[in-house]
C-alpha cells in the first residue's frame, strides 16, 4: 500500500469557484500494481500536476500539486499497535484455552477411572482397544463442541463489551462480527483440542488390565497410580501457566490506575469542552471568527461560567510543528531548527485551563487579529532552548524560513504531554483558524448541569451546527479507551484462567478424597481427628499449588528477561 500527499488548492477563474471550499492537504491511498516499485509510483505521482489553463476545465482542478509519496501498511504506527494488541490478546486467549483443555483432560481421566469396571466388562466381552478409544474420543468431542458453543456465547457478550468501549467519535472501526470464518475457526479449534487432550486419557484407559478391574483390585493397580500422577501434573501445569496471566493482568490494571492518576498540570474539575465543526456548515475564516466571537460573548454571559476560551486542542494533546529559533540580534543565517509541540489558543485560555502564567502575559483579542506576531512558551521550552537565560522578549520564527518573526510575550507552567507522559516543550500561538476548535469553559457549579444550556446557546446562533460537549474528565477518560478496553479484556481472561485453575484443583482434590475414603476411615478409626485428615488433604493440595507457583514465577522472570 502507498499513500500520496497532494496539495489541492483553488484558483478561481470566475464567479463559479468563489463558493468552492479549499481542500488543502489530502492523502489519497492506493495499492501498487504487481511488479511496480515505489520509485515508479513516485515518478507517476510527480507527473500528475494539473495546472490547466483550459477555460473549460473544472475550476476545482486549477492546481493539484503532489507533495510526496510513501508506503503504509506494516510500517504504520496504527498497524503495529493493533498487531501487538491482537498478538497479546491471542497469546492470553491461548493460555486460557490451554487451562480449559487441561481441565478437560482431568475430567476425562477422572471419568475413565470411575468407569473402569464398565470398561473392563466391555473388554471382557471382546471390545477392541480401537473401539474403546473411539468411544471415549466421541464423548470428548461432544464435550468440546458444547464448550465451543458456550465460548461463542461468551464471545458475543465480549463483542458487545468491545463495541461499548469504542467511542462514536473514534476513527477506528474494527470488524468484530461473528461471521462464518470465526464460526469455522471455532469449530476446527474445538475439534483439534478435543482430539489432542482427549487422546491421552483414552490411551491410558485402553491399556487397562480388565481382570484385576473385575475383581475390584484396581485401587492399587497401575491405572490408578498413572492417572493420579498425570492429574497432578496437569494441575501443576494449570497453576504454572495461569500465574503469568494473573501477573500480566495485575500489571495492566496497575498501569491504568497510574495513568488515570496522572497530574496533567492543568485543572480538570468544573471544566467543559465544547467541540465545534464550522467548516461542515460552510463557514469561511471571516464568518467563522465572527461566529466564534458572538458565541464567546454569549457563553461568558451564562450564569455559572467563570471564564471561557478557545483552542485548537486541549493541552497534552497538541500536534507537532517545526520551529526556527534565534535571538533578534543574531544574523538570519544558521538559524537552528527544532521540533516542538504547538497549540493555537485564544484570550483567557490559561485562566480557563488553570495553567499559571510564570512570567509575562496571556494573549489578548488584539493578538489574534494581528496574526502570529507574538507567542507564548512553557518553562520546558525555555529551559531547552535558553538554559539559564530569560527568553521573555526573544524572537523566533514559526513554520518555514520566510515566516515573520514572533516575539515571546509570556512563559507558562508546564503541562504533561499525552504521548510521552512527561512534561514536554510547548509553544502557543494566537488562535486564528476556526476549522478545528474547542471551547474550554470553567464553571462555578457542576458542569454536567450546564451542558443543555450551552447547547441552547449554540443552537440560537446556528441550529444546524454539529457539536460535541462533555466534561474535561470525560474527554480525558475517552482518550484512553483503548487502554481501558485492553485492561478489561485481560482482567476478564485472567479471572477466567484463575477460575478454571481453581476448578481443576478442586476436581483433583475431590477425586483423591473419594478414592482415599477407606484410608481416611482407617485413620480416624485409629484415633485421627477430622482436622488432622483435613490438614493432610490440604497439605497435599498445597504442594501441587506451590510447585506450580514456583514454575510459573520462574517462567515469568525468564520471559521478562527476554
HEC-encoded secondary structure of 416-463: ECCCCCCECCEEEEECCCCCCEEEEEEECCCHHHHHHHHHHHHHHHCC
**Amino acid 292: pLDDT:** 92
- Taking 50 as the pLDDT cut, the residues of the chain under it are 2-25, 50-54, 56-65, 67, 72-75, 218-227, 327-337, 562
Q: Which three cell numbers stand for residue 462?
A: 446556528
3-state secondary structure 480-548: CHHHHHHHHHHHHHHHHHHHHHHHHHHHHHHHHHHHCHHHHHHHHHCCCCHHHHHHHHHHHHHHHHHHH
DSSP assignment, residue 370?
A: H
In three-state secondary structure terms, 28 is coil
**Amino acid 333: pLDDT:** 41
Distance (Å, whole) CA 497 – CA 484: 20
Distance (Å, whole) CA 367 – CA 371: 6
φ and ψ at residue 485, rounded to 5 degrees: -65, -45
Handedness of CA 518, 520, 522, 525 (dihedral sign): negative
Q: Which three cell numbers stand for residue 368?
A: 489574534
CB of 403 within 8 A of CB of 397?
A: yes
DSSP assignment, residue 22?
A: P
CB of 6 within 8 A of CB of 66?
A: yes
Closest CA to 116 of 208, 226, 200, 203: 208
Closest CA to 547 of 225, 185, 232, 208: 232
- Quick: pLDDT tens for 224-243: 444 457 777 878 888 888 88
Distance (Å, whole) CA 301 – CA 129: 88
**Amino acid 191: pLDDT:** 81
**Amino acid 28: pLDDT:** 67
Distance (Å, whole) CA 321 – CA 433: 15
SS3 content of the chain, % helix, strand, coil (to 5): 55, 15, 30
CB of 271 within 8 A of CB of 443?
A: yes
Distance (Å, whole) CA 318 – CA 424: 11
φ and ψ at residue 523, rounded to 5 degrees: -60, -45
CB of 26 within 8 A of CB of 50?
A: no
**pTM for the structure as a whole:** 0.65
Q: Which three cell numbers stand for residue 35?
A: 511488479
Distances (CA, A) of 430 to 45, 321, 404: 36, 15, 14
Distance (Å, whole) CA 253 – CA 484: 9
- Quick: pLDDT tens for 464-498: 888 889 999 888 887 777 778 888 888 888 888 88
φ and ψ at residue 168, rounded to 5 degrees: -65, -25
**Amino acid 12: pLDDT:** 41
- Cβ neighbourhood burial of 49 (10 Å; 0-12, 13-18, 19+): exposed
In three-state secondary structure terms, 306 is strand
Distance (Å, whole) CA 336 – CA 326: 7
CB of 64 within 8 A of CB of 50?
A: yes
Distances (CA, A) of 450 to 169, 343, 441: 22, 27, 10
From the CA atom positions of the chain, what is the Rg in Å? Answer: 35
Q: Which three cell numbers stand for residue 266?
A: 492543568
φ and ψ at residue 391, rounded to 5 degrees: -80, -5
DSSP 95-116: HHHHHHHHHHHHHHHHHHHHTH
**Amino acid 560: pLDDT:** 57
φ and ψ at residue 323, rounded to 5 degrees: -130, 145
- Dihedral over alpha carbons 291, 296, 302, 303 (to 10 degrees): 180
Please tell me the total number of residues recorded for the chain in this structure: 562
- Dihedral over alpha carbons 295, 296, 302, 304 (to 10 degrees): 140
**Amino acid 338: pLDDT:** 53
Question: What is the Cα 77 distance to its own chain's centre?
Answer: 13
Closest CA to 352 of 432, 295, 267: 267
DSSP 234-255: HHHHHHHHHHHHHHHHHHHHHH
Amino acid at each position: 500500500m502507498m499513500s500520496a500527499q497532494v496539495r489541492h488548492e483553488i484558483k478561481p477563474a470566475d464567479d463559479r469557484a468563489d463558493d468552492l471550499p479549499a481542500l488543502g492537504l489530502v492523502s489519497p491511498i492506493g495499492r501498487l500494481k504487481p511488479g511496480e516499485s515505489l520509485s515508479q509510483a513516485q515518478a507517476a505521482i510527480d507527473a500528475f500536476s494539473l495546472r490547466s489553463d483550459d477555460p473549460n476545465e473544472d475550476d476545482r482542478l486549477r492546481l493539484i500539486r503532489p507533495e510526496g509519496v510513501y508506503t503504509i501498511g506494516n510500517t504504520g504506527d496504527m498497524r503495529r499497535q493493533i498487531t501487538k494488541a491482537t498478538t497479546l490478546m491471542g497469546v492470553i486467549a491461548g493460555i486460557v484455552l490451554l487451562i480449559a483443555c487441561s481441565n478437560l483432560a482431568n475430567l476425562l481421566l477422572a471419568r475413565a477411572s470411575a468407569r473402569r469396571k464398565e470398561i473392563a466388562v466391555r473388554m471382557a466381552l471382546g471390545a477392541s482397544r480401537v473401539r474403546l478409544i473411539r468411544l471415549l474420543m466421541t464423548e470428548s468431542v461432544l464435550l468440546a463442541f458444547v464448550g465451543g458453543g458456550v465460548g461463542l456465547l461468551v464471545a458475543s457478550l465480549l463483542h458487545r463489551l468491545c463495541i461499548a468501549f469504542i467511542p462514536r467519535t473514534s476513527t477506528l472501526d474494527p470488524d468484530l462480527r461473528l461471521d462464518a470464518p470465526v464460526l469455522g475457526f471455532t469449530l476446527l479449534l474445538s475439534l483439534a483440542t478435543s482430539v489432542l487432550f482427549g487422546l491421552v486419557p483414552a490411551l491410558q484407559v485402553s491399556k487397562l488390565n480388565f481382570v484385576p478391574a473385575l475383581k475390584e483390585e484396581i485401587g492399587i493397580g497401575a491405572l490408578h497410580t498413572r492417572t493420579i500422577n498425570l492429574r497432578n501434573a496437569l494441575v501443576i501445569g494449570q497453576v504454572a501457566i495461569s500465574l503469568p496471566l494473573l501477573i500480566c493482568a495485575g500489571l495492566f490494571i496497575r498501569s491504568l490506575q497510574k495513568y488515570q492518576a496522572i497530574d496533567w498540570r492543568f485543572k480538570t474539575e468544573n471544566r467543559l469542552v465544547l467541540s465545534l465543526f464550522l467548516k461542515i456548515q460552510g463557514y469561511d475564516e471571516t464568518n467563522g471568527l465572527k461566529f466564534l466571537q458572538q458565541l464567546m460573548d454569549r457563553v461568558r454571559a451564562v450564569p455559572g461560567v467563570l471564564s471561557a476560551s478557545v483552542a485548537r486542542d486541549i493541552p497534552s494533546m497538541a500536534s507537532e510543528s517545526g520551529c526556527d529559533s534565534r535571538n533578534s540580534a543574531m544574523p538570519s543565517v544558521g538559524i537552528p531548527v527544532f521540533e516542538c509541540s504547538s497549540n493555537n489558543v485564544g484570550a483567557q485560555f490559561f485562566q480557563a485551563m488553570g495553567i499559571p502564567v510564570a512570567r509575562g502575559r496571556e494573549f489578548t483579542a488584539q493578538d489574534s487579529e494581528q496574526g502570529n506576531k507574538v507567542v507564548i512558551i512553557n518553562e520546558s521550552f525555555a529551559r531547552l532552548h535558553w538554559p539559564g537565560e530569560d527568553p521573555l522578549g526573544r524572537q523566533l520564527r514559526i513554520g518555514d524560513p520566510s515566516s515573520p518573526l514572533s516575539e515571546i510575550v509570556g512563559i507558562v507552567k508546564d503541562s504533561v504531554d499525552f504521548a510521552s507522559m512527561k512534561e514536554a516543550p510547548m509553544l502557543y500561538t494566537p488562535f486564528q483558524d476556526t476549522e478545528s476548535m474547542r471551547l474550554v469553559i470553567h464553571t462555578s457549579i457542576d458542569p454536567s448541569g450546564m451542558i443543555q444550556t450551552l447547547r441552547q446557546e449554540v443552537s440560537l446562533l446556528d441550529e444546524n451546527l454539529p457539536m460535541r460537549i462533555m466534561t474535561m474528565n470525560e474527554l480525558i477518560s475517552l482518550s484512553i479507551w483503548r487502554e481501558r478496553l485492553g485492561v478489561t479484556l485481560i482482567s476478564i481472561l485472567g479471572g477466567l484462567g484463575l477460575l478454571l485453575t481453581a476448578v481443576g484443583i478442586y476436581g483433583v482434590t475431590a477425586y483423591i478424597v473419594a478414592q482415599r475414603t477407606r484410608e481416611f476411615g482407617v485413620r480416624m478409626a485409629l484415633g485421627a481427628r477430622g482436622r488432622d485428615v483435613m490438614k493432610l488433604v490440604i497439605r497435599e493440595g498445597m504442594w501441587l499449588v506451590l510447585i506450580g507457583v514456583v514454575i510459573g514465577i520462574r517462567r515469568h522472570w525468564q520471559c521478562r528477561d527476554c
